[in-house]
């Protein structure tokens, strides 16, 4: 029975809002440099990049209510604990790209490895998320596809070029902005190494190198390092210019391999991050370079995904005809005006 009570899923934010906003704005900058079609011109207005950057913070804000319905859907989208896959005989190379297929694969793997891996605590796991290592790569690919679809709808409306549809165009621009924001959030989470590991709030289990077990390390990476080293948009731009991240352009039809590579790059930085924390270098120049590189990797990959989604969303004549057939558009009625009152 579903218990409609507070879910106590662990709070695993990645980057506080300033980090997510900075990644988004640089991703949009890269998109605008490459995509110069007039159809994307509306986004060049500064306000849209500010708004999209704010929308990128929404998936974390969805934790501000205690709903198991939303927590079950949303919380595991922010991470993937790669070590949990290994324990179950799975890997980044063998997990299913489609969400429900992955869930089924996990169930079979757990049945084959009784007592291994995550053991949900029924008292606290009201959102029933403990059994899952996370759905971060699926969330990225699903939000990418939503952006592709919203871009296509917008471009259909641009082809129709009907002034009477201006409200429709505005609504779809808002949908594009929301999809760009959501995609940015999960790409940004992925660039934070602690979102790819079971050691997300301090080292757990065997600890031969004596890494910190304190929960605070997560908040330190999310926010304190950015504040201490003054890392924002300028730092990301400088980092990309000085040393462009080695990111392959995603296949627009199947971004999964590129998303897995994004997770691998981040996961490879888990232990180096703990080493920086242990040595104290996290708060010195090596720490600033490390965090800048992670933010730049996220922003750069995001820009690549935005570009791929745009380039693969040009509508055909058939797309336009199908849209018109089912849209049933009629111009909205003019606002009612009341007749002036007659003086008595």
- Tell me the residue nearest to Zn ion as measured from the CB: 78
Contacting Zn ion within 222-281 (CB under 5 A): none
Window of 112-120, 166-174, 181-189, 218-226 that interacts with Zn ion by CB under 5 A: 181-189
Binder to Zn ion among 21, 78, 152, 218 (CB under 5 A)? 78
> Could you say whether residue 81 binds Zn ion (CB under 5 A)?
no
Place of tokens 């579903």: 2
Q: Is-contact 76 129, C-beta < 8 A? A: yes
Closer to Zn ion by Cβ: residue 186 or 274: 186
Rounded to whole angstroms, the Cα distance separating 46 from 37 reads 17
For 137-160, the DSSP string reads: HHHHHHHHHHHHHHHHHHHHHHHH
- In this structure, what token pair is assigned to residue 172? 């779809």
Distance between CA atoms of 85 and 225, rounded to whole angstroms? 29
Cβ 86 to Zn ion, closest distance in Å? 23
- Name which of 78 and 239 has its Cβ closer to Zn ion: 78
Report how many residues bind Zn ion under the rule CB under 5 A: 4
Quickly list DSSP for 176-230. HHHHHHHHHHHHHHHHSGGGGSS-BTB--S--TT-----THHHHIIIIIHHHHHT
Q: What is the nearest approach in angstroms of Zn ion to the Cβ of residue 24?
A: 13
Of residues 90 and 136, the one with the C-beta less far from Zn ion: 136
Residue closer to Zn ion (CB basis): 135 or 151 = 135
Q: Which two tokens stand for residue 81?
A: 């604990």
Q: How far is CA 66 from CA 62, 96, 292, in A?
A: 9, 30, 34
Q: Which of these segments, 26-34, 73-81, 151-159, 234-242, binds Zn ion (CB under 5 A)?
A: 73-81
Cβ nearer to Zn ion, comparing 157 with 221: 221
Q: Is 77 in the site for Zn ion (CB under 5 A)?
A: no
| 114: Cβ contacts below 8 Å, ≥ 6 apart | none
Helix axes 17-34, 166-191, angle to 10 degrees: 120
CB atoms within 10 A of CB 226: 22
Whose Cβ is closer to Zn ion: residue 58's or residue 103's? Answer: 58
Question: What is the nearest approach in angstroms of Zn ion to the Cβ of residue 123?
Answer: 25
Which residues in the 3-42 window bind Zn ion by CB under 5 A?
14
Of the pair 78, 165, the CB lying nearest Zn ion is at: 78
CB of 206 to Zn ion, least distance (A): 28
189 near Zn ion, judged by CB under 5 A = yes
Binding site for Zn ion (CB under 5 A): 14, 60, 78, 189
């Amino acid at each position: 029975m579903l218990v409609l009570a507070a879910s106590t899923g662990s709070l695993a934010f990645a980057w506080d809002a300033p980090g997510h906003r900075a990644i988004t704005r640089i991703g949009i900058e890269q998109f605008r440099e490459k995509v110069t079609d007039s159809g994307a011109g509306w986004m060049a207005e500064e306000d849209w990049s500010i708004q999209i950057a704010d929308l990128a913070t929404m998936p974390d804000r969805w934790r501000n209510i205690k709903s198991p319905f939303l927590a079950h859907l949303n919380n595991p989208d922010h991470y993937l604990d790669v070590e949990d896959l290994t324990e179950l005989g799975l890997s980044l190379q063998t997990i299913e790209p489609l969400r429900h297929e992955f869930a089924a694969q996990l169930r079979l793997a757990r049945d084959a490895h009784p007592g291994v891996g995550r053991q949900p605590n029924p008292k606290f796991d009201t959102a029933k998320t403990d059994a899952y290592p996370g759905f971060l790569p699926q969330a990225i690919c699903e939000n990418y596809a939503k952006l592709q679809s919203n871009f296509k709808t917008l471009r259909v409306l641009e082809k129709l070029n009907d002034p009477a549809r201006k409200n429709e165009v505005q609504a779809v621009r808002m949908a594009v902005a929301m999809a760009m924001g959501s995609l940015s959030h999960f790409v940004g989470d992925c660039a934070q190494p602690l979102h790819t590991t079971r050691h997300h709030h301090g080292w757990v289990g065997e600890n031969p190198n004596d890494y910190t077990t304190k929960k605070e390390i997560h908040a330190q990476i999310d926010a304190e390092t950015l504040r201490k080293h003054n890392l924002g948009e300028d730092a990301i731009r400088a980092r990309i210019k000085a040393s462009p991240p080695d990111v392959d352009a995603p296949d627009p039809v199947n971004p999964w391999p590129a998303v897995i590579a994004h997770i691998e790059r981040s996961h490879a930085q888990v232990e180096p991050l703990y080493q920086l924390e242990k040595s104290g270098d996290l708060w010195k120049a090596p720490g600033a370079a490390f965090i800048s590189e992670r933010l730049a990797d996220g922003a750069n990959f995001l820009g690549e995904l935005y570009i791929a989604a745009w380039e693969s969303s040009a509508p055909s004549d058939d797309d336009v005809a199908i849209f018109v057939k089912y849209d049933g558009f009629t111009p909205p009625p003019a606002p009612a005006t009341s007749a002036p009152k007659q003086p008595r």
